[in-house]
Amino acid sequence: MSVLVITEHIRGEVRDITRELVTAAQDLDGPVAVAVIAKDPSALADAVNVSGVDEIVNVAVEQEEFENDVYAGVVEALAKEREPDVTLTGFTVNSMGFAPAVAARLGLGFASDVLSFRQDGDGLVAERSFYGAKVNAEVEFPGKAQVVLMLRATSWAPAEGSGNATVSDFQAPQIESRARHLEFVDVEQGDVDITTADFLLSVGRGIGEKENLAQFEELAEKMGGVLSVSRPIVDSGWVPNVRQVGQSGKTVKPKVYLALGISGAVQHLAGMKTSGTIIAVNTDAEAPIFNVAHYGAVADLFDVAEELEKLF
């Protein structure tokens, strides 16, 4: 099956997900082409010429940075002209802006947040999760000659080495971009840096009320660590986002990560799953956080916190 990988880049840097997609593409046995959609695609060529890539397809466009109409227009044209069996994008914010649109417009097979995939007879089978990662499903694409898959980040190792891909050019179609990039605004740096702490005590929605937060901040300090949180705690405005762990927050790798009342959604796991020792406390025995934890306890976090207070 032939594969087309869509490169993701920002501020002139190719993002890791692209080389992860190249690795994933090797799970099928067809030629692998990588499309680079950029103002000056050749400037990014070295970064995508990694082992496993057979062809680099340069698509010059006016825009330096990602805009969803530009990507949708180009990927649609590539799908029509080159007819790749499988088009791979990351399950990333950028790709969320165009991949489903291309599949909807052309009536292609489509699945997102894909964990694995394989050829099965003439068709393709992809694996994805449902119900808060408690159930997995195999999905198939009956009658679809082309399939678009958005793959979960950090599930494949990034491809390395240098490749010897051939390079071709592809003429971008005329595109009217209706959602235009103005500027990037970087996250403000706060006075805490959760990325350098050896011990993070991390709390999630399980703590219930804002009033409960202070005790965990104190406990974190008492235990010699720093308080971090999952996204809903930041969304509620209880703490600033410098303490947020996860895909849209910080990636952390402390020696010990103690998660209290965090379910373990993929976007949270993306930010902490490589921590040295992960300990999770949750009342739900099937919470997916236990799949990445080294130690787990099915218990009420308030009871455990109260006992921990006494021990430090």
Partner 1 sequence: MKIVVAVKQIATLGDEVEFTDDERAVDPDFLDYALNDWDSFSTEEALQIRDRSGEGEVVVVSVGDEDAEEAMRRCLAMGADRGIRIWSDALDGADPITVARALAEVIRREGPDFVFAGVQSADSVQAATGVALAELLGLPRVAVVTKIELGDGKAVVDRELEGGIVDRTEVDVPALFTIQTGINEPRYATLRAIKQAEQKEIEVVEPSDLGEPAYRVRRMYVPEKGAGAEMLDGSAENVAQRIAEIVKERLK
Binding site for ligand FAD (CB under 6 A): 93, 204-206, 230-232, 244-249, 261-263, 265, 267-268, 271, 281-284, 287, 300-302
Residue 131 burial (C-beta neighbours within 10 Å; 0-12, 13-18, 19+): exposed
DSSP 28-74: S-S-EEEEEEESSGGGGHHHH--TT--EEEEEE-S-SS--HHHHHHH
The contacts of residue 194 (CB under 8 Å, 6+ apart) are 200, 226, 228, 242, 243, 245, 250, 252
Of the candidates 74, 77, 85, the one whose C-alpha atom is nearest the C-alpha of residue 33 is 85
Query: In terms of CB distance, is 33 or 103 closer to partner 1?
Result: 103
Q: Taking CB under 8 A as the rule, does residue 154 contact partner 1?
A: no
Q: Does the protein bind partner 1 through residue 173 (CB under 8 A)?
A: no
Q: Does 105 bind partner 1 (CB under 8 A)?
A: yes
Contact 141, 123 (CB under 8 A): yes
Binders in 17-36 for partner 1, by CB under 8 A: none
Told to check if 189 binds partner 1 by CB under 8 A, we report no
Pick from partner 1, ligand FAD, none: which does 282 bind, CB < 5 to 8 A by kind?
ligand FAD
Q: How far is the CB of 51 from partner 1 (least distance, A)?
A: 25
Planar angle of CA 230, 276, 243, nearest 5 degrees: 25
Strand partners, 297: 281
Q: Is 1 in the site for partner 1 (CB under 8 A)?
A: no
Nearest distance in Å: CB 292, partner 1: 8
Residue 286 as a binder of partner 1 (CB under 8 A): the answer is: yes
| 108 touches partner 1 (CB under 8 A) | yes
Tell me the residue type at 102.
Answer: V
Question: 117 by DSSP, 3-state: which?
Answer: strand
The SS3 of residue 156 is coil
Would you count residue 312 as binding partner 1 (CB under 8 A)?
Answer: yes
Q: Does 160 bind partner 1 (CB under 8 A)?
A: no
Q: Which is nearer to ligand FAD, 109 or 296 (CB)?
A: 296
Residues composing the chain: 312
Residue 69 in contact with partner 1, rule: CB under 8 A: yes
40, 81, 138, 160: residue in contact with partner 1 (rule CB under 8 A): 138
Q: Is 66 in the site for partner 1 (CB under 8 A)?
A: yes
Residue 68 binds partner 1, judged by CB under 8 A? yes
Q: Are 99 and 14 in contact, with CB atoms under 8 Å apart?
A: no
Q: Which does 308 bind (CB under 5 to 8 A by kind): ligand FAD, partner 1, none?
A: partner 1
Locate 270 and state its tokens: 């993306």
Q: Which of 30, 31, 132, 158 binds partner 1 (CB under 8 A)?
A: 132
Q: Which does 268 bind (CB under 5 to 8 A by kind): partner 1, ligand FAD, none?
A: ligand FAD
42 touches which of partner 1, ligand FAD, none (CB within 5 to 8 A by kind)?
none
What's the closest the beta carbon of residue 299 comes to ligand FAD, in angstroms?
7
The answer to whether the CB of 163 falls within 8 A of the CB of 46 is no
Are the CB atoms for 242 and 265 separated by under 8 Å? no
